[in-house]
Structure 1
Amino acid sequence: MLAQQQPIKSSDDDRIAWVRVSSVILPLANPISDAKVLTGRQKPMTEIAILFAEIETIDGHRGLGFSYSKRAGGPGQFAHAQEIAPALIGENPSDIAKLWTKLCWAGASVGRSGLSTQAIGAFDVALWDLKAKRANLSLARLLGAQRDSVRCYNTSGGFLHTPLDQLMKNTDFSREKGIGGIKLKVGQPDCAIDIQRVSTVRKHLGDHFPLMVDANQQWDRPTAQRMCRQFEAYNLIWIEEPLDCYDAEGHAALAVQFDTPIATGEMLTSVAEHAEFIKLRGADFLMPDAPRVGGITPYLKVAAMAEQAGLMLAPHFAMELHVHLAAAYPTEPWVEHFEWLEPLFNERLETRDGRMLVPTRPGLGLTLSEQVGPWTAQEAEVGIRP
């Protein structure tokens, strides 16, 4: 009989001994286009830069965290993370809020939002992963889970580069997988094409299957008014980013005027930016992104403000992380289903009856796959591995 593995002991004085940061370039199977491509502001997306942080303590506890950048920014995130990583060595890993502040001020001259805090996000997620593993709890349980599964919707099958016939097949595939909603990208230069695609998919799904649309910030205020009015007829769960992500007043005006909820927030990169949106009630559904806002520590502040304001929540992308965070939100949230990051990990999330099951493995419940090695562009270590 095999001897039962003993849990790693930990003292209150455990210290961070070793940190590794890695820049991993994840290739996408097909070039991805949304409205920002059709308006000429961006090129089709062919890869995602992932910033991984691995942390190990003197007592042998380990944590894994990540942040990411689409298109440009990956090398910058890695460079900033490499520069501030030494500040973690010798610190107590339980002091997560203190360490976030320390890392933030280490690079405060380049700002307390955007690329600099997104680099911090990888370390912050790793520290929360470590803390949950040390407690032998999933991250959701550590945070105080409200539910064991979360409503989920698919986005990856609804991009603008997808022909309409393939779009219909993608919606069927998502439903067969147990995914509970479909989101379509809109924002075509010819608005009639958007209306045709949404109308066709709504008819295909039926009147009541959850359907969302996302304009990716590409409408001006008059166009947003007209399109929101047109889309009222389709019983949508929300209309996402109809305006520039910093136009809180414009989003708030749409939220007041139309029955269809307005969703936004994924591009905001600080607690302060979210606070302004919440103050002006610029969203019915707030869509914070933990890696973009700087990790779990600031994300929890955003979620607390959203709860106090009575907002609904739908965290953006990175379902492997956000399924845990959404499970801890008091009112029923949505999680975005993107399979793009799956090749990075050995584990897979399960979907069933319209919902995503919250993993019960300790921490995030993730381990890196063998494919990460060949995709690693840069890596750096500080400290001495126990």
Structure 2
Amino acid sequence: MTPDTSPRAVPPPAAIAHIALSSVLLPLDTPVSDAKVLTGRQRPMTEVAFLFAEITTEDGHTGLGFSYSKRAGGPGQFAHAREVAGDLLGEDANDIGRLWQKLVWAGASVGRAGLATQALAAFDIALWDLKAKRAGLPLAKLLGAHRDSVRCYNTSGGFLHTPLAQIKDNATRTLEAGIGGIKIKVGQPDAATDLARVAAIRSHLGDDVALMVDANQQWDRPQARRCCRALEQFGLVWIEEPLDADDVEGHARLTAEFDTPIATGEMLTSVAEHWRYIERSATDYLQPDAPRVGGITQFLRIAALADHQGLMLAPHFAMEIHLHLAAAYPREPWVEHFDWLEPLFNERMEISDGRMVVPDRPGLGVTLSDRVAGWTVARHQVGTPRPERP
């Protein structure tokens, strides 16, 4: 038998050769409660589930992406990612938009929003990280940055389970660390308790410090109008999620009625859901979450629509991703500082004079810490590993 001596096709350098998925449960030091816990809708949060995707090309470049879920959904994201990961092998990692569509169609029967596309977000974010690394640029620079730092505010020190005295201490330490704003939770069963806490924090901070409040969807329309009116006196940067996330009309009315800006968007899981708010100007600050909407590709679509409508931007959670995306938004945005994710990464975000500084490292600028292995509950790989570039 004559041996086969025909030339073999050589994969291009950017062809995807290997994908590693990890399901990680990050424990929280203290169970976290917001208004949804006080009303019995949810239980206190004790951990956050992460789906990490590491994508390596033939020439050894690797991109890191992640999605997450709170309270439920982590195993589902991991299961869906396992099913579709193989569809990326051999593909050109530069073709991010086309690959997002390919993965969506691979799981078309489970829809284009929610858990399915949140699983895809880990791949999409990894591909953007990889593309920026191949270019030798921070992701913000690859996207076209408008600034090298972004105003930042802290949320993790102001939850409803935290006593008022502790919130004051947390706020003081936060400002001393260089963070520029403080957000506290509202939505107590007794609105008077909310107002007393907000008044106490405003008095503690003074009038010049940026202060936001977040009701986590706990008010109906009459409650929201009364509370928004009462909160006008405190000079807030915004009132967040005063109504159910599906109530576009209610948010539109509040946005039109009150001087204090209205913020919402973190619970929306698609471009289409965000567009309902954007086209109605039903919020002042839009708060998209890249892992929740399917990744950076979808986030950029939302951001372009929001800018066209003149909306402000304040992405939700995951500052390691959203710092870069906020830096590329034309209008001066805010980014949310959460220290919960810090144990996952070797790097720390630099904060100075109320702003978070875009790292000069290529890509997202983060690498997984050794501690992640101890929190990993499942792994899956497809393809053939390649030696990683130094």
Please give the TM-score of this superposition, normalised by the length of structure 1: 0.97
Residue 155 of structure 1 pairs with residue 152 of structure 2: no
Query: Hey, what's the Cα distance between the residues in 1 that align with 2:247 and 2:86?
Result: 38
Q: CA deviation at 1:166?
A: 0.4
User: Contact 1:289 / 1:317 at 8 angstroms: preserved in 2?
Assistant: yes
**1:203 equivalent in alignment to 2:222:** no
Q: Secondary structure at the match of 2:24?
A: strand
Match of 2:146 in 1: 146
Match of 1:243 in 2: 243
Asked whether the equivalents of residues 12 and 58 of structure 2 are also in contact (C-alpha less than 8 Å), the reply is no
Equivalent in the alignment of 1:305 = 305
Gaps of 5+ in 1: 1-10
Give 1:208 shift: 2.1
Corresponding residue number in structure 2 for 1:385? 385
Secondary structure of the equivalent of 1:332? coil
CA distance in 2, matches of 1:55, 1:14: 11
Residue deviations 1:71-129, cap 9 Å, x none?
10000000000111000001000000000000011111011000000000000000000
Could you say which residue in structure 1 is the equivalent of 2:51? 51
Matched ranges for 1:207-222 at <5 A? 207-222=207-222
Q: Is the 8 A contact 1:208 1:235 kept in 2?
A: no
Q: Which runs of 5+ in 2 are unaligned?
A: 1-10
SS of the residue corresponding to residue 87 of structure 2 reads helix
Indicate the residue corresponding to 2:69 in structure 1. 69
Residue 6 of structure 2 is matched in structure 1 by: none
For 1:350 and 1:193, how far apart are their aligned partners in 2? Answer: 35
Q: Tell me the secondary structure at the aligned position of residue 178 of structure 2.
A: coil
Residue pair 2:154, 2:182 contacting (<8 A) in 1 also = yes
Matching residue of 1:104 = 104
Deviation at 1:207, TM superposition (A): 1.2
Partner of 1:345: 345
Counterpart amino acid of 1:272?
Answer: A
Secondary structure of 1:366's partner? coil
Spell out the pairing of 1:71-150 with structure 2 (5 A cutoff).
71-150=71-150
Structure 1 residues 344-363: Cα deviation after superposition (integer angstroms, max 9, x where no partner): 00000011111101111000
Is this contact kept in 2: 1:93–1:127, CA < 8 A? yes
State whether residues 149 and 356 of structure 1, in contact with CA within 8 Å, keep that contact through their aligned partners in structure 2: yes
> What's the offset of the Cα at 1:282?
1.3
How big is each residue's C-alpha offset from its partner over 1:240-277, in whole Å with a ceiling of 9 and x where there is no partner? Answer: 00000011110000000000000000000000000111
Q: CA deviation at 1:13?
A: 5.6
C-alpha contact (below 8 Å) 2:13/2:58 kept by paired residues? no
Q: CA contact under 8 A between 2:168 and 2:201: conserved in structure 1? A: yes
Once the two structures are TM-superposed, the CA of residue 12 in structure 1 deviates from its matched residue by 6.0
SS at match of 1:65: strand
2:335 match: secondary structure: strand
| Preserved contact between residue 139 and residue 363 of structure 1 (Cα < 8 Å) | yes
Deviations, residues 1-49 of structure 1 (Å, cap 9, x unaligned) = xxxxxxxxxx966310100111000000000000000000000000000
Q: Quick check: 1:193 aligned with 2:193?
A: yes
CA–CA distance in structure 2, aligned partners of residues 360 and 149 of structure 1: 11
**1:313 touches 1:334 (CA, 8 Å); kept in 2?**
yes
Amino acid of the structure 1 residue aligned with 2:280: L
Q: Secondary structure at the match of 2:184?
A: strand
Which residue of 1 is the match for residue 4 of structure 2? none
Counterpart Cα distance in 1 of 2:254 and 2:210 = 21
Residues 214-363 of structure 1: pairs in structure 2 closer than 5 A: 214-363=214-363
Cα distance, 1:281 vs structure 2: 1.2
Question: What is the rounded CA distance, in whole Å, between the counterparts of 1:62 and 1:84 in structure 2?
Answer: 19
Task: Tell me how far apart the structure 2 counterparts of residues 112 and 102 of structure 1 sit (CA, whole Å).
Answer: 12
TM-score (norm 2): 0.96
Does the 8 A contact of 1:181 with 1:209 survive in 2? yes
